[in-house]
Structure formats: C-alpha cells, structure tokens
Amino acid sequence: MAPGSTPAPVLQAHDIHKSYGRHPVLRGADLTVTPGQLVAVVGENGAGKSTLLKALAGTLPVDSGEVALTGTLGHCPQDPVLNASLTVEQHLHYFAAAHRLPDLDRGRELVDLLGYERYLASVAGELSGGTRQKLNLTLALLHDPDVLLLDEPYQGFDWDTYLRFWDLVEGLRARGKAIVVITHLVFEQDRFDLLADLTDGRLTPRTTSKEGHHVGA
C-alpha cells in the first residue's frame, strides 16, 4: 500500500510488557488497528488475552510499552460487570449519565438489536447469563465509541443472538468503528480483517486474514 493512503491508526500498542510477579504474560506485544477494522486476537486459555485487552483499555498498568488511542473507547469485559440490584433500564440510565448522553435512543436501539427489550424492567441479578452478557455489551456500546474492545463477547449467546451480534458488528464497521475481539475460538475466520495469535506474550498475524485490509500486528 502506498505511503499516505494508509488510514491513521486509531489504536496502536507498541512493545507491551506485563508480568505478574515473576511470570511474564506479555513480552513485547504490538498491535495497530485502523478505523473500520475488525481484528481478532486469538490465544489459548492463559495466553494473556484478557491482560492484553485490559492493557489496551487502560484498566491495567503495564510494565513497559505504550498504547496510543485516538477517539473514544468502549470496553466490554469478559465477565459482565453489572449491578445486581439495578434494572436493565437503570443501567442504561446510569451509563447515560456517565457518558453525559443527551438521550437514551442508542441504548434502546441496542437493546432492540440484541433482542432483550422484554427485560428492560428486570434487575440484573435475575437475568440469565446470556442476557447479562447482552447488557454488558450494550453498556460498552452506549456512547458509540470509535474503538471497541470485546473480551469473549459472544460467550453464552444462542445462535440467533450470535447472528444479531455479527449484524451489529458489521453495522459498526460500516460506520468506520474499529473493533478488537479477543477470543479463544474463532468459528468464522473470514469475518475478520486480521487474525492475530497471542503466543509467548507476542502477537503474530495469521496469513489467512482478508486481503486489502492490511494491518500490522
């Protein structure tokens, strides 16, 4: 690709190192993501995927390296972080206040897209695992972020919801949003612009990724 035609990266991680005590987890991980890209970070259990995602999200300090982010960020953690005593609607209300949103339109749209509008008045503590995960995802998307980091996002989804999830992701990508999905299993590799394997604390791009959407990992 000719210099100058490459869109500016929206998220760039360079030489990320992170150890827990004497156990190194990330050993020089690099990742570059441009607007409209869909990237999968794939790794076995314990490979450090969630650590990488937290480092990218800024919720975990790293030992060395740098993460540069342009625009707004949405982060969907692997285990839903919800308040068991609040209803779905109250969660939307709380996060609309956090993001200073002028309305709840996007929140209601996401609830409809993911198909759980009948649970709006249910408290999170009484929701099924799959519905909790839908709410978890909705909260990450509520402010329509430029970069979305998803940690095992479709865990617990049924097939219908899994397809709705991909419709949602395609819609985001079409609007130039960058999405990084962290997963231990990739069912449909051709959905992604880039697949990067997290092995020995470093990211290695797979050659099977889509042509024409080159990114360096």
Partner 1 sequence: MSVPDALRPRPLYGQFPTALRFCVRDQTRNRLAALLLVLFVPAWYLMMDALAGDTPLDFKLYATGRVLHVDGGHLTLISAGLNSVTMIAGFVVFDAVRKALAFDRRLVFAGYRQSTLIGAKSLAVAVVASGIALYTALAMLPFWRPDPGGWFAVLAGFTAIALTYGALGLLLGVLVKHDLEGFFLIIMGGLMDTFLQNPLGNPLANKPVLEWFPSFGPMQFAVGGSFGNTALWSHLALGLGWAAAFAAIGLVIFRIRTRNRTRRQARRDPVLLPK
CA distance 212 to 168: 22
User: Using CB under 8 A as the criterion, which residues of the chain lie in contact with partner 1 when the complex forms?
Assistant: 12, 55-71, 73, 75, 77, 81-86, 90, 93-104, 139, 143, 146
CB nearer to partner 1: pick between 94 and 162: 94
**In the complex, least distance from residue 34 CB atom to partner 1, rounded to whole angstroms:** 13
Nearest distance in Å: CB 210, partner 1: 26
* CB closer to partner 1, 82 vs 114: 82
Min CB(209)–partner 1 separation in Å: 25
Closest to 160 in 3D by CA, of 114, 109, 117:
114
Give the Cα separation of 107 and 142 in Å (integer). Answer: 6
Query: With respect to partner 1, which residue has the nearer C-beta, 71 or 158?
Result: 71
Coil/strand/helix, residue 98? helix
Q: Which amino acid is at 149?
A: L
By residue count, the chain amounts to: 217
How far out from the chain centre does Cα 110 lie? 15
Shorter beta-carbon distance to partner 1: residue 60 or 163: 60
